[in-house]
Amino acid sequence: MALLCTAYAHAQKSENHNSSIMRNIETFNEIYRQLDLLYMDSLNADTVMTWGINALLHQVDPYTVYYPEEDDELMVMAKGKYAGMGSVIRFHKKEDRSVISEPYKGSPSDLAGLKAGDVILSIDDKDIKGWDNAKVSNMLRGEAGTTFKLKVQRPGESKPITVTITRQTISIPHVPYYGLAKEGVGYLYLTGFTEGDAQQVRAALMEMKEQGAKSLILDLRDNGGGSLDESVDIASLFLPKGTKIVYTKGKTPSSNREYYTRLEPVDTVMPITVLVDGGTASAAEILSGSLQDMDRAVIIGTRTYGKGIVQSIRDLPYGGNLKITTSRYYIPSGRCIQAYDYRHLNSDGSAKSLPDSLTHLFHTRGGREVRDGGGIKPDVVIRPDTLPTIVIDLASSDALFDYCTHFVQTHKTIAPAGEFKLTDAEYDEFIDFIKEAGFTYNRRSDEVLKLLGEIATREGYMEGAKTEFEALKAKLTGDLRQDMLRSRKEIESYVADDIVRRYYYEWGGCKQQIVGDKTVEKALEILSDTAGYKKLLSK
């Protein structure tokens, strides 16, 4: 009798749910019909419906997204490919135009002779002044094999340059750099997970082993994830065939799956360190988390993002697609590392995060304690240095970008990637260039001092503390040259990276970036200590 009552209650609940859906869909349809019939102006159906769809999807999570037929972003995410000229562009405020930032090596833009710093004047004779980067990017992309005319102004030259470019399918490299960090230690930087990435990682690993690599640094920092299958196949390189890496649970039976390593491994014993940070998410967390759960690698860095949910692609009428969250995933220890609750938001609209006190305890294969609910916690925590304000503002400025353009125009060659440094004279020239460019930066101490002054005045303390306040203000008055000299190490790393990329492309830039990287240095230290490495992976 109790069973019948339960079944009846479930059926009634389902009927009420379906009835509610139909009632609201009919109401929505009628509202649009009335608007279309009676509203004083004509409505653009595509625009209005897209707004409505996006408002609906905003109620679930940020990963459930509608892609209209003409939107190629989904293909870029899934395949890591698009058809275009193969160059990163950036918006230059002073020029009020997009400029070439970084042509990919061997791409149509590179073969056409385009350089970083070239200011885009027009595309197919359409002046792009004032256009944002998204609009310019859409204009540059198109069907592979089609051509367009691009006019650019190169700094330092009097006449514009016009080139005709044939669009090609551009594969975004997700293994932008690999090589020996030192004798016997391989380093591989992986930035995403799309079709074919596991093959690239396998080939890179084999090549490094041939060069003498006996241990590995796998850098997954700022890797936002991608294909779950590719993540499992990369894990296959380091774990025995048939090892369960991850399983998913959702509302429908098709969402419940188990994923096992299906390829023959390359090396199941070589010591591995995996570098992670707050930008390591999704498939990158599956890879790092499964290697941690299997006691196969030492995880170094800061806690990862905490995306423990999986999306699948559903076809829609008229060529559209819906990327929809269908399940949660669980790594070998049984934990789900989802950190955010998108169904119950904070008062400011942000997603609630799970406090550490409510997480659950799990264990790795060897018995080490790990927890769910908040990303992957590293075995060894290394926090990045806090950057001074001037470094943050300068790194993203047009002034630094323009200096690098100027440097390349006055230097035919530079030292190899990983060895390049500015001389003292060159750094002085850089400071002069930045000053002449009128660069200003938002000094946080000025903001705090101003706020302190306002509060002290309001509360009646300023009159008695005016002398001390003025003295403090004088001490905290910034000097651009002194601030740039004080933060030279941090600033120069950004300048060197941009300059090296212009000579040696992305490969050289990535090699330059790891010079002096304290997380990489810690990984090298751990891999050089066999006993210490084993201790970190023991209970």
Give the active site residue among 118, 277, 293, 483: 293
8 A C-beta contact, residue 123 and residue 150: yes
- Choosing from 151, 288, 290, 307, which is the catalytic residue? 307
Q: Are 173 and 164 in contact (CB under 8 A)?
A: no
In order of 62, 113, 442, the CA distances from 311 in angstroms are 11, 40, 40
Tokens describing residue 178:
């690999």
Rounded Cα distance, 396 and 402, in Å: 11
In angstroms, the CA 484 to CA 422 distance is 14
Of 296, 299, 228, nearest to 267 (Cα)?
296
Bridge partners of 120, per DSSP, are 152
Exposed/middle/buried for 251, CB within 10 Å: 0-12, 13-18, 19+?
Answer: exposed
Distant-in-sequence, close-in-space partners of 128: CB < 8 Å, separation ≥ 6 = 97, 98, 120, 121, 122, 135, 136, 139
- Tokens representing 169 are 């399918």
* Angle subtended by helix axes 424-436 and 488-513, to nearest 10: 110
Q: Which two tokens stand for residue 56?
A: 């609906």
122 assigned to active site: no
Per-residue DSSP letter, 387: P
- Residue 181 CA to residue 216 CA, distance in Å, equals 9
Instruction: Give the pair of three-digit tokens for residue 216.
Output: 């590995």
Contacts of 256 (CB under 8 A, 6+ apart): 247, 248, 249, 250, 327
Total count of residues recorded for the chain:
539
Neighbours of 328 (CB within 10 A): 16
List, in sequence order, every residue forming a beta bridge with 459; answer none if it has no partner: none
Tokens of 337: 């590392």
Amino acid at 430: F
Of the residues 101, 109, 227, 282, only one is catalytic, namely 282
Q: Which helix (H) or strand (E) holds 404?
A: helix 398-410
Q: Catalytic: 81?
A: no
293 in catalytic set: yes
| Residue closest to 205 by CA, chosen among 186, 233, 221 | 186
Residues forming the active site:
282, 293, 307
